[in-house]
């Protein structure tokens, strides 16, 4: 698998496009029908999956003991649909080190890899206005409907439901303790203005 480095670098990260072959390889790996591109798992620490499909949302988690992905559709296929290319809109495989993002287009799958990298040219990266910034978003839900070991069927007051890839309690949900961590990367234009240029998912955290 080969990448092309984008012409405009971002501080604190490396952003590269994926070849169509690599996109297919990542999808097959998620479906436990193959292996990921070489060294990807150790570099990115991919441990979570989030797929938006035409008929719903499916979460997944990497089972290091079994060396395979666990997907919500294995527990409730109506709530968490099977991941099929023709129905897939967007797929994120993510972890502490980086994220693989795939999306469906007319030509098939396209994708990009976004991973952390040391900030170049900064004597004090911790105080740089371009340093990456983590945002914690509260995961919606106020009730547990059913538990499946490492997956939990949750619902919110508006009636929305999802099958989360974590064992969580009602108290954790209502207390806002379940968070999705999003990391933002910044870019500065010729006027000195700083804006978010790219974002990725990092982890689910209780």
The pLDDT tens digits along the chain (206 residues) read 333 444 456 788 889 899 999 999 999 999 999 988 875 666 788 999 999 999 999 999 999 999 999 999 999 999 999 999 999 999 999 999 999 999 999 888 999 999 998 765 554 566 788 889 999 999 988 899 999 999 999 999 889 999 999 999 999 999 999 999 999 999 888 898 989 999 999 999 99
Q: What is the pLDDT of residue 111?
A: 94
At 15 the three-state DSSP class reads strand
Q: What φ, ψ does residue 88 adopt, rounded to 5°?
A: -80, 130
* Residues 88 and 163 reside in one and the same domain: no
62 found inside a domain: yes
Single out the residue in 116, 138, 155 at which a domain terminates. Answer: 116
Range(s) of the domain holding residue 83: 13-116
CA dihedral 70, 58, 104, 201 (to 10 degrees): -80
Q: What is the pLDDT of residue 9?
A: 66
Q: What is the pLDDT of residue 6?
A: 42
* Residues 17 and 107 reside in one and the same domain: yes
* Residues 92 and 167 reside in one and the same domain: no
2 found inside a domain: no
* Residues 140 and 111 reside in one and the same domain: no
140 found inside a domain: yes
Q: Looking at the 3D structure of the chain, how many domains does it have?
A: 2
Q: What is the pLDDT of residue 58?
A: 98
Single out the residue in 70, 93, 116 at which a domain terminates. Answer: 116
188 found inside a domain: yes
* Residues 142 and 185 reside in one and the same domain: yes
* Residues 150 and 182 reside in one and the same domain: yes
* Residues 102 and 22 reside in one and the same domain: yes
Q: What is the pLDDT of residue 110?
A: 95
Give the residue among 129, 130, 102, 136 at the shortest CA–CA distance from 117: 130
Report the sign of the C-alpha dihedral through residues 77, 79, 83, 85, in that order. positive
* Residues 20 and 108 reside in one and the same domain: yes
Specify whether the CB–CB gap between 177 and 137 falls below 8 A: no
* Residues 31 and 104 reside in one and the same domain: yes
Tokens read off for 42: 């150790």
Single out the residue in 85, 116, 147 at which a domain terminates. Answer: 116
7 found inside a domain: no
Q: What is the pLDDT of residue 188?
A: 86
Q: What is the pLDDT of residue 118?
A: 73
* Residues 20 and 107 reside in one and the same domain: yes
Instruction: Determine the Cα–Cα distance for residues 27 and 23; give it in Å rounded to an integer.
Output: 6
* Residues 137 and 104 reside in one and the same domain: no
Output the pTM of the full model: 0.90
1 found inside a domain: no
Q: What is the pLDDT of residue 3?
A: 37
* Residues 98 and 134 reside in one and the same domain: no
């Amino acid at each position: 698998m080969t990448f092309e480095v984008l012409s405009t670098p971002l501080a604190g990260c490396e952003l590269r496009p994926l070849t169509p072959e690599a996109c297919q390889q990542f999808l097959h790996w998620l479906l436990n029908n193959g292996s990921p591109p070489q060294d990807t798992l150790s570099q990115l620490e991919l441990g979570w999956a989030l797929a938006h499909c035409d008929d719903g949302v499916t979460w997944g988690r990497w089972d290091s003991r079994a060396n395979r992905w666990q997907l919500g559709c294995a527990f409730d296929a109506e709530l968490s649909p099977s991941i099929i290319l023709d129905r897939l809109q967007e797929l994120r495989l993510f972890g502490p080190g980086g994220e693989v993002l795939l999306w469906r287009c007319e030509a098939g799958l396209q994708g990009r890899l976004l991973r952390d990298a040391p900030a170049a040219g900064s004597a004090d990266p911790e105080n740089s206005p371009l340093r990456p910034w983590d945002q914690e978003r509260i995961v919606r839900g106020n009730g547990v409907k059913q538990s499946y070991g490492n997956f939990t069927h949750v619902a919110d007051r508006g009636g929305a439901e999802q099958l989360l890839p974590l064992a969580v309690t009602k108290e954790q949900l209502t207390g806002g303790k379940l968070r999705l961590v999003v990391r933002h990367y910044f870019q500065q234009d010729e006027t000195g203005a700083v804006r978010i240029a790219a974002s990725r998912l990092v982890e689910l955290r209780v």
